[in-house]
Structure 1
Amino acid sequence: MNDTAYTELVMVREFKVSPEKLFDAWIDPVMMRKWLMSMEATNKSASSDPRVGGLWEIIDVRGGKEYRAVGRYLEIDRPIKLVFTFQMPQFSEFEDTITVNIKATEEGCKMVFTQHIRVPVEENWTDEDTRRAVEEFHDSSQHGWHYMFVGLKMLAEEGITPVMPPASE
């Protein structure tokens, strides 16, 4: 790897819950284990130290293999803003930065999720190779977060813990 490209993923979701309840789903390890990464059935553990500089971790087990997602909290302004790093060390040494902004609405709250994604670029790649890699990182991240947000909505609004990967909306 010689270089890095960047892309930004922005997703907006509406929830019929208070900003506090949604915010807590991002930092409470009991809640995190139920929706973040996959679901409670495959998430082996979740931990969170919700303070600036504190660490969080999810260990998901699929097909007998452990997948770790880790990071540290950079900014916490409950219930309106959360900024943290996100890394899956088994796949990349790079950390992304995620910002979750939550705004109260008449029916609950609106979440604006922004992920600043670092994309590894090989030395011999053409501009087209880089463009394709950036697009693939963006689209695969969007796909994964979409499914997690379906589970987050079920959990936050209905108290339902996803027991299998939710279907596309």
Structure 2
Amino acid sequence: MINTSTTTLTMTRRFDVTAERVFEAWLNPEMMRKWFFTMESTNKVAKNDPHVGGTWEIVDHREEKDYRAVGKYMEVDPPRKIVFTFKMPQFSDTEDRITVDIKPFENGCEMTFTQVIVVPYEEGWTEEDIEKARDEYNSQTEQGWGYMFEGLKQLVETGKINYPS
């Protein structure tokens, strides 16, 4: 039997554009396909139905494999807040919860991203093993979002992303 624990990742980013522009990048499928778990050149699917109970789906194709990310909206409050689930069914049945809070400022906005990450562990693991797994999940997830948020910033501020070669 697989047990689970959680870890919470919180990241904050500032943007030199309106809160509405950042909010749109989270929900507009044409914008999502450029930065959200995918790149425009490798994206196969970008679907979004952004209302409470609605779903989203991204399929990215890399190295002959499809990577599918899906979720369901729990809260959509334009342009301030989005709460949704996140799951990659090919890897795990676990489902994370993500909250995106966007606050406007005079010259832009600030986005606070919070992900409650479900960390599976096996029977017999010590508390030290579980803590190590939580730290690894948190660190790897932060690195992935860091790359995505760089792309998001470029997209909303310049209209395009300069992908690394």
Give the TM-score range, shorter chain: over 0.9
1:137 match: 137
1:84 match: 84
The answer to whether 1:112 aligns with 2:108 is no
User: Relative to structure 2, which stretch is displaced further, 7-16 or 122-131?
Assistant: 122-131
Distance in 1 separating the partners of 2:139 and 2:33: 24
Do the aligned partners of 2:37 and 2:60 also contact (CA within 8 Å) in 1? yes
1:102 match: 102
Distance in 1 separating the partners of 2:53 and 2:162: 30
Offset of 1:127 from its aligned partner? Answer: 1.3
Q: Deviations over 1:50-75 (max 9, x none)?
A: 11000100000110100000000000
- What is the RMSD of the two structures over their aligned residues, measured on CA atoms? 1.0
Offset of 1:107 from its aligned partner? Answer: 1.3
Identity among equivalent positions (%) equals: 55
Offset of 1:92 from its aligned partner? Answer: 0.8
Name the aligned partner's letter for residue 106 of structure 1: E
Q: Which ranges in structure 1 are unaligned for 5 or more consecutive residues?
A: none
Do the aligned partners of 2:38 and 2:59 also contact (CA within 8 Å) in 1? no
Offset of 1:38 from its aligned partner? Answer: 2.8
Distance in 2 separating the partners of 1:147 and 1:163: 10
Distance in 2 separating the partners of 1:164 and 1:33: 17
2:20 match: 20
**Count of residues in Structure 1 that have an aligned counterpart in Structure 2:** 165
The answer to whether 1:2 aligns with 2:7 is no
Name the aligned partner's letter for residue 52 of structure 1: V
- Please give the TM-score of this superposition, normalised by the length of structure 1: 0.95
Do the aligned partners of 1:69 and 1:89 also contact (CA within 8 Å) in 2? yes
Q: Label 1:55 to 1:162 Cα distance change in 2 as closer, same or farther (>3 A).
A: farther
Q: Equivalent residue of 2:91, what SS?
A: coil
